[in-house]
């Protein structure tokens, strides 16, 4: 079985330590490129350039000795991460309303719970004062409990 | 040795590039120049070899990290 040839496969340039490829910003928004790049800063040196409008050139340079196969794998992983970032963004946008609702609900519930706790505390205070038959809470100068 | 790199303002946050340059100035002579269209960072070292390139690489990664964080925060 022979697979059809795709023109839109990731094409890249290689030298001893570098792999360079161009990302179309109409397919992968800038935020997804930043997100993917951020995940690679510990593995390689990155530099982004603007060769043309809506295009971003990604340059990945190995931090140490490397092989062609490793550089190719790096480019492939970066392309996968780009896709991952786009999906994450889409899911985030889709769920944004639900997320806002859950947070709003959590805050309103918390404030309602706080007000009921305040009411309970006030009730307890009132009960304690009412049950103070020995008038312990009344200061001595105002006719509080005396020895004798 | 000198290493010259351009940072396009539509990709890199200007403040991020400035901060990255500032945080590496104790390692080498680093000059930030250019206009609104392009920022150019020149790293110069007295020593031969790959020192300038390595410092420029580090400046680049640092600028990218700060740019990505700024983009996420906005």
Its pTM surpasses 0.90:
no
| Cβ under 8 Å to B: A residues 43-72 | 45-50, 56, 61
In this prediction, residue A108 carries a pLDDT of 80
**Residue A139 confidence class, pLDDT cut points 50, 70, 90:** confident
Mean pLDDT of A54-81: 94
Mean pLDDT of A94-105: 88
Over residues A15-28, the pLDDT tens digits come to 889 999 999 999 99
Beta-carbon contacts of residue A38 (< 8 Å; ≥ 6 apart): B64, B65, B68
Q: Does B5 touch chain A (CB under 8 A)?
A: yes
Range in A75-84, A114-123, B37-46 the model is least confident about: A114-123
Say which of A34, A49, A56 has its CB closest to residue B67: A34
In this prediction, residue A25 carries a pLDDT of 94
As for the ipTM of the complex, it is 0.91
Looking at every residue in chain B, the average pLDDT score rounds to: 91
Contact list, A45 vs chain B (CB under 8 Å)? 57-58, 60-61
For residues A50-72, one letter each, b for 16 or more C-beta atoms within 10 angstroms of the residue's C-beta and e for the rest, the string is beeeeebbbbbbbeeebeeeebe
- Contact B71/A61, CB-based, under 8 Å? no
Higher pLDDT, A19 or A142: A19
To the nearest whole Å, the CA of B46 is away from the closest chain A CA by 22
To the nearest whole Å, the CA of B9 is away from the closest chain A CA by 9
Strand stretches in chain B, DSSP E = 2-7, 29-34, 39-44
Q: At A61, is the secondary structure helix, strand, or coil?
A: strand
Given a cut of 70, whether residue B39 has pLDDT beyond it is yes
Contact list, A46 vs chain B (CB under 8 Å)? 60-61, 64
Looking at every residue in chain A, the average pLDDT score rounds to: 85
**Residue A126 confidence class, pLDDT cut points 50, 70, 90:** confident
Test mutation, B11, B20, B66, B74, chain A, max A CBs within 10 A: B11
Closest-approach residue (CA) in chain B for A36: B68
Q: Does B29 touch chain A (CB under 8 A)?
A: no
In this prediction, residue A12 carries a pLDDT of 87
Beta-carbon contacts of residue A143 (< 8 Å; ≥ 6 apart): A135
Look-up of token digits 């790049």? A37
In this prediction, residue A72 carries a pLDDT of 92
């Amino acid at each position: 079985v022979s697979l059809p040839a795709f023109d839109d496969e990731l094409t890249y340039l290689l030298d001893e330590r570098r792999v360079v490829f161009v990302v179309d910003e109409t397919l992968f928004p800038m935020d997804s490129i930043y997100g993917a790049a951020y995940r690679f800063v510990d593995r390689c040196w990155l530099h982004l350039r603007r060769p043309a409008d809506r295009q971003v050139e990604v340059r990945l340079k190995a931090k140490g000795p490397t092989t062609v196969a490793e550089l190719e794998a790096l480019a492939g992983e970066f392309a996968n991460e780009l896709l991952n970032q786009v999906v994450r963004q889409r899911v985030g946008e889709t769920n944004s309303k639900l997320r806002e609702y859950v947070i709003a609900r959590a805050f309103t519930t918390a404030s309602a719970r706080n007000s009921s706790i305040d009411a309970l505390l006030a009730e307890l205070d009132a009960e304690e004062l009412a049950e103070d038959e020995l008038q312990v809470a009344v200061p001595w100068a105002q006719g509080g409990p005396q020895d004798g | 040795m000198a290493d010259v790199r351009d940072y396009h303002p539509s990709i890199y946050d200007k403040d991020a590039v400035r901060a990255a340059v500032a945080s590496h100035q104790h390692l080498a002579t680093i000059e930030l120049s250019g206009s609104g269209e392009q920022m150019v960072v020149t790293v110069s070292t007295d020593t031969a070899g790959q020192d300038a390139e390595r410092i420029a690489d580090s400046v680049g990664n640092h600028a990218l990290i700060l740019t990505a964080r700024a983009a996420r925060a906005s």
